[in-house]
């Protein structure tokens, strides 16, 4: 016998920095783990989400991935389509999907490090009213009420993500009070990006219940505080199995040549964070280095010690990135033909 199931359709709106939107459809389904292709295409008012004019406001929601935590609610990640079924101009997932199809054999793995602030009344938790707490220093991976706030909330989010099949590999308190990070990992490009968006959605939903909010802007607190990033770790099959110092240098050359293009897709307001201070390289410079958290791209020490095989960390992406855009940029740059422009005397140095 069929049961009533809540289908929570979730999509990205048309703002320059996309926001998550959702609405619920009640249906009778035999399976609470449905195939997204078997779910109905739905519609919404695009004139209210910066995705359509008022005189022709209908946009379509196409289910692309389903999540379930064991309850009767199915969380349905959707792509936005025009009324004729073509991909909407705001549909960055569709654009990544085309790149993914042609680069699938590279077998990318992804790890997104999502930093964020928990806020209440637009103020980070732990910040005194009208002022600032003690300077950053003891908060990173700290313990105790004077150093961290919101731990129970963060652990609840972790467990909810794991129940959904979202592979969160770790969490930690960050360098400012009220600031946290979680690491979201997947061995598939499309799932990695879908999972990051869904993990953010769950974060916002949990915050709703407490009357809190989540701030993922790159520099929510002005002054001598680190901003929030979404450091993007990635590797290909070749990088993990058959890599070398020369190949790493050539890859860095390719990232150097497309630095400005990457920055344009790495989050609005990122210039406030990438100042060259607070564990960042300046937004106008490109650099890379082994174990260097002040570089644009960090090559882990373990990679050098392992014959240059492994992953690298792009530290430029801001906390408010659209992962579909970032994954597309990194995939294109990594899989382009090697140009071999490096100079041996500039190895792992800043430009």
The residue among 45, 64, 90 that closes a domain is 90
Q: Are residues 296 and 333 in the same domain?
A: yes
Convert the pLDDT of each residue in 250-285 to its tens digit: 999 999 999 999 999 999 999 999 999 988 999 999
**Counted domains in the chain:** 2
Query: What pLDDT is attached to residue 349?
Result: 36
Task: Tell me the two tokens of residue 75.
Answer: 């969380």
Average pLDDT, the chain: 93
For residue 27, give the CATH number of its domain: 3.10.20.70
Query: What pLDDT is attached to residue 342?
Result: 37
Q: Are residues 214 and 137 in the same domain?
A: yes
The pairing of strands 42-45 and 123-124 is: unpaired
Q: Are residues 216 and 338 in the same domain?
A: yes
pLDDT at 164 over 50: yes
Judge whether 95 lies within some domain: no
Highest mean pLDDT among 30-34, 128-132, 145-149: 145-149
Angle at 330 between CA 282 and CA 217, to 5 degrees: 50
Backbone angles phi, psi at 207, to 5 degrees: -65, -35
Q: Are residues 117 and 45 in the same domain?
A: no
Q: Are residues 107 and 85 in the same domain?
A: no
Judge whether 96 lies within some domain: no
pLDDT at 225 over 50: yes
Query: What pLDDT is attached to residue 129?
Result: 82
Task: Tell me the two tokens of residue 219.
Answer: 């520099």
Task: Specify the pTM.
Answer: 0.94
Among residues 108, 92, 95, the alpha carbon closest in space to that of 232 is found at: 108
Convert the pLDDT of each residue in 288-305 to its tens digit: 999 999 999 999 999 999
pLDDT at 348 over 60: no
Q: Are residues 10 and 32 in the same domain?
A: yes
Q: Are residues 113 and 86 in the same domain?
A: no
Convert the pLDDT of each residue in 169-202 to its tens digit: 999 999 999 999 999 999 999 999 999 999 999 9
Query: What pLDDT is attached to residue 339?
Result: 40
Residues 6 or more apart whose CB falls under 8 angstroms from that of 203 comprise 116, 157, 214
Number of neighbours of residue 115 by Cβ within 10 angstroms: 22
Q: Are residues 58 and 187 in the same domain?
A: no
Query: What pLDDT is attached to residue 240?
Result: 98
Q: Are residues 77 and 184 in the same domain?
A: no
What's the pLDDT band for 24 if we cut at 50, 70, 90? very high
Range of the domain at 315: 101-346
Query: What pLDDT is attached to residue 2?
Result: 59
Task: Tell me the two tokens of residue 66.
Answer: 């389903």
d(CA 263, CA 315): 11
Q: Which residues of 309-343 are buried (b: 16+ CB within 10 A; e: fewer)?
A: bbbbbbbbbbbbbbbbbbbbbbbbbbbeeeeeebe
DSSP state of 88: P
d(CA 57, CA 45): 5
* Residue 280 CA neighbour count, 13 Å, CB half: 24
d(CA 128, CA 121): 12
């Amino acid at each position: 016998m069929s049961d009533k199931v809540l289908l929570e359709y979730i999509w990205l709106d048309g703002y320059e920095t996309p926001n998550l939107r959702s609405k619920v459809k009640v249906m009778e389904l035999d399976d609470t783990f449905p195939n997204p292709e078997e779910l109905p295409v739905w519609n919404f008012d695009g004139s209210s989400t910066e995705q359509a004019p008022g005189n022709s406001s209908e946009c379509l929601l196409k289910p692309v991935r389903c999540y379930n935590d064991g309850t009767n609610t199915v969380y349905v990640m959707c792509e936005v389509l025009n009324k004729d079924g073509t991909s909407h101009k705001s549909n960055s997932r569709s654009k990544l999907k085309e790149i993914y199809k042609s680069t699938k054999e590279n077998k990318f793995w992804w790890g997104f490090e999502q930093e964020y602030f928990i806020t209440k009344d637009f103020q980070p938790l732990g910040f005194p009213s009208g002022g600032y707490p003690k300077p950053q220093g003891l908060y990173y991976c700290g313990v105790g009420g004077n150093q961290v706030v919101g731990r129970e909330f963060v652990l609840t989010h972790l467990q909810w993500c794991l129940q959904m099949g979202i592979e969160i590999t770790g969490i930690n308190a960050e360098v400012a009070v009220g600031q946290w990070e979680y690491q979201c990992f997947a061995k598939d490009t499309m799932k990695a990006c879908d999972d990051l968006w869904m993990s953010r959605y769950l974060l916002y939903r949990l915050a709703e219940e407490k009357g809190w909010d989540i701030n993922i802007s790159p520099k929510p607190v002005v002054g001598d505080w680190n901003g929030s990033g979404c450091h993007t770790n990635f590797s290909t099959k070749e990088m993990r199995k058959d890599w070398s110092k020369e190949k790493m240098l050539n890859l860095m050359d390719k990232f150097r040549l497309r630095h400005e293009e990457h920055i344009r897709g790495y989050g609005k307001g990122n210039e406030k964070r990438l100042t060259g201070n607070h564990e960042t390289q300046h937004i106008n410079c490109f650099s890379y280095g082994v174990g260097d958290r002040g570089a644009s791209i960090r090559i882990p020490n373990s990679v050098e010690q392992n014959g240059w095989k492994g992953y690298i960390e792009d530290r430029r992406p801001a906390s408010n990135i659209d992962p579909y855009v970032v994954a597309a940029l990194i995939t294109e740059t990594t899989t382009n033909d090697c140009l071999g422009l490096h100079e041996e005397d500039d190895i792992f140095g800043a430009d």
